């Protein structure tokens, strides 16, 4: 027997975005709402700290909590995956075959990590010096690999084609590894290489300039327009293909002692094949209101949506109140607002104890929250990353509070002109 249930608000995905919007809806709604979250996983992760775990400065256990402990009181938890979407009939089929219908749908199942797109990677991940902070099950192995480095070691970091979540993460671990080797006095004896698919190190030019200097300071050789295509764990070698420049189309086999991989990423299959998707497979929403462009009772936020902001939890923090206010406005028969400006933040760990707190909005405009030079490596930024943001995530964001420092839009003009 297949069952069918109806909710006023149905949320797909109980990650950073799903829990935040559910909690915020509960807090803001003046009438009790019938809300449920569809989420198959038992564990929820604070992913922004994965870099710190890989660098040996944050316990892995502190990134993880039970989903059940985070679902807000009064919100239903459907322990299944959303399998197919029928937005014309306001209904979703679950992995178990049941259907669920809704008045309003909020879609936030994140991105898929495409480990299998790189030949040989899945078979050797977590062994043979092949590590990734993108995998909760092997991020502590990154730290094992870093500690095992010695004079003469060859270290390779990779960055896939955009979009992928946290566009700073592949280079953050490169700088922390280099700083670790520097503190041990063997940095100059090691060979560090960073292979990037894009022709630039970071998509916001203001910060890219600083980051090029940081890489140079450590002697990290940056190879633009190179894509990882294969990994051979037994011979400890990685194959890259040049995707631009004079060697375009050529393949290079690079030996390594440690290889840190950021996997290519894509929309989940069930989204890609649904009527909600745009041509690239992402949920097609208005970039300011987060409302679906074809189905007005559908919203999306977080990593799965088509907006061009950096895919970060920081973006979710700013998108969630817009989605929540708009759903409540539609319920009240009011018109919606278009308040999301593309804000994202990436605390770039340039050394142990130092962070460049990159904050920006659509168009790569720099919008710092603090009255400090945003390009400067700071100890305060490190404290914010290691202590402040995790506290904010667990105790404010996931509880539906929206008390956060606003980003400084008045700064935009100054920085954009000087950059």
Ligand X SMILES: Cc1cc2nc3c(=O)[nH]c(=O)nc-3n(C[C@H](O)[C@H](O)[C@H](O)COP(=O)(O)OP(=O)(O)OC[C@H]3O[C@@H](n4cnc5c(N)ncnc54)[C@H](O)[C@@H]3O)c2cc1C
Token pair recorded at residue 241: 């293909």
Residue 175's nearest CA partner among 202, 138, 206 is 202
Rounded alpha-carbon distances, angstroms, from residue 100 to 7, 105, 110: 8, 11, 20
CB of residue 248 to ligand X, shortest distance in Å: 29
Strands 82-86 and 91-94: antiparallel
CA distance 79 to 42: 9
* Contact predicate 61/51, CB 8 Å: no
CA distance 377 to 351: 9
Q: Is 190 a catalytic residue?
A: no
Interface with ligand X (CB under 6 A): 12-18, 38-41, 47-48, 50-51, 81-82, 108-110, 133-134, 165-166, 169, 268, 270, 302-304, 311-314, 316, 345-347
Write down the catalytic residue from 166, 190, 262, 305.
166
CB of residue 51 to ligand X, shortest distance in Å: 5
CB of residue 250 to ligand X, shortest distance in Å: 30
CA distance 49 to 59: 9
- Pick 184 or 399: Cβ nearer ligand X: 399
- Pick 228 or 304: Cβ nearer ligand X: 304
Which residues have CB under 8 Å from 234's CB, separation 6+? 124, 128
- Pick 232 or 359: Cβ nearer ligand X: 359
- Pick 42 or 417: Cβ nearer ligand X: 42
CA distance 125 to 141: 9
Residue 364's nearest CA partner among 301, 419, 292 is 419
- Pick 232 or 341: Cβ nearer ligand X: 341
CB of residue 273 to ligand X, shortest distance in Å: 11
**Phi, psi at residue 410, to the nearest 5°?**
-65, -20
Write down the catalytic residue from 108, 145, 262, 346.
346
Residue of minimal Cβ distance to ligand X: 15
CA distance 173 to 139: 11
CB of residue 43 to ligand X, shortest distance in Å: 8
* Contact predicate 330/306, CB 8 Å: no
CB of residue 242 to ligand X, shortest distance in Å: 26
CA distance 120 to 234: 10
- Pick 169 or 238: Cβ nearer ligand X: 169
- Pick 242 or 274: Cβ nearer ligand X: 274
Three-class DSSP category at 24: helix
Q: Is 166 a catalytic residue?
A: yes
CB of residue 252 to ligand X, shortest distance in Å: 26
CA distance 150 to 336: 58
CB of residue 233 to ligand X, shortest distance in Å: 21
How far the first Cα of the chain sits from its last, in Å, is 62
Rounded alpha-carbon distances, angstroms, from residue 386 to 46, 48, 139, 302, 347: 12, 10, 17, 22, 10
- Pick 48 or 129: Cβ nearer ligand X: 48
Which residues have a catalytic role annotated? 166, 346
């Amino acid at each position: 027997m297949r069952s069918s249930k109806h909710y006023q608000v149905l949320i797909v995905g109980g990650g950073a975005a799903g829990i935040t919007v559910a909690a915020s809806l509960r807090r803001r709604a003046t009438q009790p709402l019938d809300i449920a979250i569809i989420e198959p996983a038992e564990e929820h992760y604070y992913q922004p700290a994965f870099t710190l775990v890989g660098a040996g400065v944050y316990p892995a256990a502190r990134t993880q909590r039970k989903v059940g402990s985070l679902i807000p009181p009064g919100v239903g938890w459907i322990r299944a995956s959303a399998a197919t979407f029928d937005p014309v009939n306001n209904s979703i089929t679950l992995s178990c075959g049941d259907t669920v219908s809704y008045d309003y749908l909020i879609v936030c199942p994140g991105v898929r990590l495409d480990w299998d797109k790189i030949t040989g990677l899945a078979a050797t991940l977590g062994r043979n010096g092949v590590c990734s902070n993108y995998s909760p099950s092997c991020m502590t192995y990154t730290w094992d690999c870093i500690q095992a480095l010695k004079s003469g070691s060859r270290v390779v970091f990779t960055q896939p084609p955009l979009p992928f979540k946290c566009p700073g993460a592949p280079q953050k671990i490169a700088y922390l590894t280099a700083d670790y080797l520097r503190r041990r006095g063997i940095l100059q004896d090691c060979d560090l290489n960073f292979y990037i698919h894009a022709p630039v190190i970071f998509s916001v030019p203001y910060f890219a300039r600083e980051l090029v200097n940081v890489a140079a300071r450590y002697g990290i050789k940056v190879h633009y327009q190179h894509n990882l295509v294969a990994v051979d764990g037994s011979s400890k070698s990685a194959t890259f293909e040049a995707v631009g420049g004079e060697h375009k189309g050529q393949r290079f086999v690079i030996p390594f002692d440690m290889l840190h991989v950021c996997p290519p990423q894509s929309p989940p299959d069930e989204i890609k094949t649904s009527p909600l998707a745009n041509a690239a497979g992402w949920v097609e929403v208005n970039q300011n209101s987060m409302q679906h462009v074809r189905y007005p009772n559908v919203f999306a936020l977080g990593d799965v949506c088509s907006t061009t902001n950096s895919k970060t939890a920081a973006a979710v923090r700013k998108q969630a109140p817009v989605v929540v206010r708009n759903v409540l406005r539609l319920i009240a028969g009011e018109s919606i607002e278009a308040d999301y400006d593309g804000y994202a933040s990436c605390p770039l760990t340039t050394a142990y104890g130092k962070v460049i707190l990159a904050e920006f909005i659509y168009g790569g405009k720099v919008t710092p929250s603090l009255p400090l030079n945003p390009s400067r490596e700071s100890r305060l930024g490190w404290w914010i990353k290691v202590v402040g943001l995790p506290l904010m995530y667990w105790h404010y964001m996931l509880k539906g509070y929206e008390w956060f420092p606003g980003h400084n839009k008045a700064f935009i003009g100054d920085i954009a002109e000087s950059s």
